[in-house]
């Protein structure tokens, strides 16, 4: 991996030319044109309106409002407007996620408007973004990550708090094969059933008097952003006893997608980028891209900054029935995006060497296993 000394200069200052004297290019001569350029840029920025795209779900709108608040703080001279729309994943609330063939389930319609200029930026959950973006689209920044862990939310009125306390046959609601596959490894007596909809919709289905669900497994980040953290009864990370689930790639982080080459937007977003969250997210996406996985493949990951510049990644690939799994973990110095990309690739290769490709191939050949497991 690169060291600090090996990193290229990121300074925006021009290299000084010792052959040019102060008399030839004096500050007096340069000041008027420089000032005019700066004033023109500021005038352009002050009249600019940034159109923010997002999904129309309650959580997505809350997340877009969070980003708009930060943008207003960094650039109050710019006006902002949120445009919420339904994506393919929002319009179809009955089909299980793994049955969709499209990789851009939550992003396609928004990206189309980004490319035609109707939108200037799009706010996504990083975990919803395909690892291969459309041409002329790129990630402008990744903001500071919320808690990336998966959590358990028990039905109101039940005395249980954890998965381990549930009796055999209890039904766990989740639309994620990554979650159900990992839970099957530890708790083979539990049953799984698909559950779709906004977080509020899913909680209502859980708490309904005639509900068949004993609990849901959800992302902590969404619950916290909706101010429903009090409903969490168990965290499922690798360090919590009885947990042991590795989360989805990018979970907990928000990414802002932009058009390539839009320097003005890139400058506006610069203050929102969170380096540690960005590098960890890019490393996780590199792992996913190398394994060619998606929301229908049980790949889990967990990244932790051990100290400045040192990133620990744990990763797992699980068979759909939870009976086979391959795990690995690696600690590396990550200083820049190139390091992050290579790190994800290295971890993916370690999984492949341990047999992950065999599990992934079996998943693609044996999709009926998903339906036998209750559609989760």
Q: What is the mean pLDDT of residues 64-76?
A: 97
Q: CA angle, corner 262, sides to 259 and 268, nearest 5?
A: 110
- Domains in the chain, CATH or no CATH each: 1-144+253-273 (3.40.190.10), 150-235 (3.40.190.10), 274-370 (3.30.160.40)
- 237 in Cβ contact with 304 (< 8 Å): no
- 200 in Cβ contact with 272 (< 8 Å): no
Residue 132, number of CB atoms within 10 A of its CB? 11
> Counting beta carbons within 10 angstroms of the beta carbon of residue 294, is it exposed (0 to 12), middle (13 to 18) or buried (19 or more)?
middle
User: Can you tell me whether residue 38 is helix, strand or coil?
Assistant: helix
Alpha-helical segments (H) within 81-219: 88-91, 108-115, 177-186, 199-207
Terminal alpha carbon distance of the chain: 39
Joined together, the tokens standing for residue 23 give 């008399």
> Counting beta carbons within 10 angstroms of the beta carbon of residue 324, is it exposed (0 to 12), middle (13 to 18) or buried (19 or more)?
middle
Q: What is the pLDDT of residue 132?
A: 87
Question: Which of 9-13, 112-116, 364-368 has the weakest average pLDDT?
Answer: 9-13
Residue 242 pLDDT more than 90? no
pLDDT tens sequence across 147-198: 999 999 999 999 999 999 999 999 999 989 999 999 999 999 999 999 988 8
Task: From the candidates 128, 150, 339, 341, give the one annotated as an active-site residue.
Answer: 128
Gyration radius of the chain's alpha carbons: 23
Q: How far apart are CA 60 and CA 65, in angstroms?
A: 9
pLDDT tens sequence across 29-69: 444 444 444 443 444 555 589 999 999 999 999 999 999 99
Q: What is the pLDDT of residue 29?
A: 41
- Mean pLDDT score across all residues of the chain: 83
Residue 18, number of CB atoms within 10 A of its CB? 6
**C-alpha of 224 from chain center:** 15
pLDDT band at residue 296 under the 50/70/90 scheme: low
| DSSP result, 251-273 | TT-EEEEEETT-HHHHHHHGGG-
Q: What is the pLDDT of residue 45?
A: 55
pLDDT band at residue 362 under the 50/70/90 scheme: confident
Phi, psi of 35 (to 5 degrees): -65, -40
- 354 in Cβ contact with 170 (< 8 Å): no
Q: How far apart are CA 307 and CA 332, in angstroms?
A: 11
Q: What is the pLDDT of residue 304?
A: 97
pLDDT band at residue 293 under the 50/70/90 scheme: low
- Sequence-distant (6+) residues with CB within 8 A of 28 are none
Strand 234-235 to 150-154 pairing: antiparallel
Q: What is the pLDDT of residue 46?
A: 52
Residue 90 pLDDT more than 70? no
| DSSP result, 312-330 | EEEEEEE-TTSS-EEEEEE
Does the annotation mark 128 as catalytic? Answer: yes
Residue of 181, 240, 180 lying closest to 215 (CA atoms): 180
pLDDT band at residue 101 under the 50/70/90 scheme: very low
Strand 121-125 to 191-193 pairing: unpaired
Residue of 77, 136, 113 lying closest to 267 (CA atoms): 77
Q: What is the pLDDT of residue 294?
A: 55
Q: CA angle, corner 37, sides to 32 and 39, nearest 5?
A: 95
């Amino acid at each position: 991996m690169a060291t600090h000394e090996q990193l290229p200069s990121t300074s925006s200052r021009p290299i000084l030319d010792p052959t040019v004297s102060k008399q030839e290019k004096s500050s007096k001569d340069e000041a008027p044109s420089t000032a005019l350029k700066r004033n023109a840029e500021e005038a352009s920025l002050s009249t600019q309106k940034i159109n923010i795209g997002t999904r129309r779900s309650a959580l997505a709108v809350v997340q877009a409002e969070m980003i708009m608040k930060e943008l207003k703080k960094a650039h109050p001279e710019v006006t902002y407007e949120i445009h919420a729309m339904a994506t393919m994943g929002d319009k179809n609330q009955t089909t299980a996620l793994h049955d969709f063939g499209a990789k851009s389930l939550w992003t396609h319609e928004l990206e189309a408007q980004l490319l035609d200029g109707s939108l200037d930026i799009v706010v996504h959950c990083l975990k919803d973004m395909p690892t291969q973006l459309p041409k002329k689209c790129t990630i402008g920044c990744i903001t500071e990550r919320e808690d990336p862990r998966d959590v358990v939310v028990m039905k109101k009125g039940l005395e249980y708090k954890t998965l381990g306390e549930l009796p055999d046959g209890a039904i766990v609601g989740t639309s994620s094969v990554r979650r159900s596959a990992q839970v099957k490894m530890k708790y083979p007596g539990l049953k799984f059933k698909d559950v779709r909809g906004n977080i509020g919709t899913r909680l209502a289905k859980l708490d309904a008097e005639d509900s068949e669900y004993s609990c849901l497994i959800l992302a902590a980040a969404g619950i916290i952003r909706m101010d429903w953290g009090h409903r969490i009864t168990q965290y499922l990370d690798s360090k919590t006893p009885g947990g042991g689930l590795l989360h989805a790639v990018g979970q907990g982080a928000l990414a802002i997608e932009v058009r390539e080459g839009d320097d003005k937007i890139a400058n506006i977003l610069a203050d929102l980028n969170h380096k540690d969250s960005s590098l960890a997210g890019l490393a996780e996406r590199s792992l996913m891209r190398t394994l060619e996985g998606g929301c229908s493949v049980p790949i889990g990951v967990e990244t932790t900054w051990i100290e400045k510049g040192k990133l620990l990644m744990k990763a797992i690939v699980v068979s759909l029935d939870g009976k086979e799994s391959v795990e690995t973990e690696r600690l590396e110095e990550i200083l820049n995006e190139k390091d992050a990309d290579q790190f994800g690739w290295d971890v993916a290769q370690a999984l492949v060497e341990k047999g992950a490709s065999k599990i992934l191939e079996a998943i693609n050949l044996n999709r009926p296993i998903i339906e036998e497991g209750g559609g989760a």
